[in-house]
């Protein structure tokens, strides 16, 4: 609790420090990290807490982004309309995809969620009116009224931070609620949960829909982040990236999504912006292949901290 408060205080102070030192680029990187943290946290709910290996989470992330993009292209730019719409459409997509996918399990579930996400990817690629495979440029960030301008990167950062905090709090309430207990029990032993009288399928589906809705919110934010909705947001590589974030940070850990997103994106930034002379001599184009370094870090985490980076900060060995 205290550490969470300290971390939020540090996150709240961050853009002020950057402003003072004229490093506003980092506020933008930080808000990007927080958006991905929301997306990864949503995946962690199904993957970590619910034990459902969804390999198609980019579908909900990208759908959220496109809802904001398409609404903006049609002249609806209010965040109060576009963001809830993104959440609702992503939730509906999760309901449909989950209703079919959750009838399977194990490797079939992984494959069927992947297949659905790729189908949605091609749907958006083929939407020529909305940019097709070039993606969809937004006229600017959503509007909220009341004299608040989201185009300002520091304001934007605080909006994203507030939403991240809300998502994390919601997640914390959820995993400790009755529903959260049942979800954890289903992850542990779904046959026994059913034999105790729980309709397992319905609980899994509810969990999947909540997760999809939160991913949709993250999608709405990522479209705003760069004023751009790209079909690559729905690509399976995006699903993989979110999964890597969760595994890096900690599967089934409240802060896992944030830690994973921060680690991955900071690492990518360091590799592409800070050339290392001797490494360049050895491999001139290494900076274009940041994935290699990410792979090495992932390997190290899986081998030496298999419960994720979040577990390294643990005093209590028991998972929640």
Residues in contact with other proteins by CB under 8 A are 173-174, 176-182, 184-185, 188-189, 191-200, 203, 206, 210, 319
Judge whether 75 and 201 are in contact, CB under 8 Å: no
Smallest gap from residue 172 Cβ to other proteins (A): 10
Minimum Å gap between C-beta 314 and other proteins is 16
Identity of the residue, 171 or 234, whose beta carbon is nearer to other proteins in the bound complex:
171
Q: Which residues contact 185 (CB under 8 A, 6 or more apart)?
A: 192, 193, 196, 198
Are 308 and 298 a contacting pair, CB within 8 Å? no
Q: Which is nearer to other proteins, 93 or 209 (CB)?
A: 209
Nearer to other proteins, 108 or 169 (CB): 169
Pairing of strands 228-229, 136-137: antiparallel
Q: How far is the CB of 181 from other proteins (least distance, A)?
A: 5
Least distance in angstroms from the C-beta of 183 to other proteins: 10
Cα three-residue angle 49-53-55, rounded to 5 degrees? 130
Q: 127 with 62: CB under 8 angstroms?
A: no
**What's the closest the beta carbon of residue 128 comes to other proteins, in angstroms?**
41
Name all contacts of 269-273 with Cβ < 8 Å and 24+ positions apart.
269/29
Q: State in angstroms the smallest separation of the CB of 303 from other proteins.
A: 23
Say if residues 82 and 76 touch (Cβ distance below 8 Å).
yes
Query: Which residues, including other chains, have CB under 8 Å from residue 135's CB and lie 6 or more apart?
Result: 228, 229, 230, 231, 232
* CA-wise closest residue to 42 among 104, 91, 89: 91
Total residues found in the chain within this entry: 320
Nearest to other proteins of 128, 318 (CB atom): 318
Distance CA 280, CA 274 (A): 11
Nearer to other proteins, 179 or 236 (CB): 179
Nearer residue to other proteins within complex by CB, 3 or 176: 176
Q: How many CA atoms lie within 13 A of 176 on its CB side?
A: 9
Shortest distance, CB of residue 196 to other proteins, whole angstroms?
A: 5
Structure tokens at 17: 């420090």
């Amino acid at each position: 609790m205290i550490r969470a408060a300290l971390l939020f205080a540090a996150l709240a102070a961050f853009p002020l420090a950057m402003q003072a030192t004229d490093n506003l680029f980092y506020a933008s990187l930080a808000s990007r990290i927080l958006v991905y943290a929301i997306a990864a946290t949503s995946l962690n709910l199904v993957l970590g807490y619910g034990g459902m290996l969804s390999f198609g989470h980019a579908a909900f992330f990208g759908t959220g982004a496109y809802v904001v993009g398409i609404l903006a292209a049609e002249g609806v730019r209010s965040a109060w309309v576009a963001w809830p719409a993104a959440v609702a459409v992503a939730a509906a997509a999760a309901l449909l995809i989950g209703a079919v996918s959750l009838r399977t399990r194990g490797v079939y579930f992984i494959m069927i969620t992947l297949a659905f996400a790729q189908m949605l990817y091609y749907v958006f690629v083929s939407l020529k009116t909305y940019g097709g495979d070039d993606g969809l440029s937004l006229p600017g960030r959503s509007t909220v009224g009341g004299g608040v301008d989201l185009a300002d990167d520091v304001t934007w950062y605080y909006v994203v931070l507030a939403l991240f905090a809300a998502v994390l709090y919601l997640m914390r309430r959820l995993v400790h609620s009755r529903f959260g207990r049942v979800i954890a029990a289903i992850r542990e032993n779904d046959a026994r949960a059913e034999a105790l009288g729980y309709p397992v399928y319905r609980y899994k589906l509810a969990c999947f829909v909540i997760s999809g809705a939160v991913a949709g919110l993250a999608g709405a934010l990522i479209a705003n982040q760069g004023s751009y909705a790209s079909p690559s947001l729905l690509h399976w590589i995006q699903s993989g990236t979110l999964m890597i974030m969760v595994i890096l940070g900690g599967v089934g850990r409240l802060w896992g999504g944030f830690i994973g997103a921060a680690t991955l994106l900071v690492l990518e930034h360091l590799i592409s912006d800070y050339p290392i002379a001797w490494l360049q001599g050895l491999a001139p184009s290494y900076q274009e292949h940041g994935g290699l370094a990410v792979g090495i870090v992932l390997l190290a985490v899986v081998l030496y901290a298999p419960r994720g980076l979040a577990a390294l900060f643990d005093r209590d060995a028991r998972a929640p």
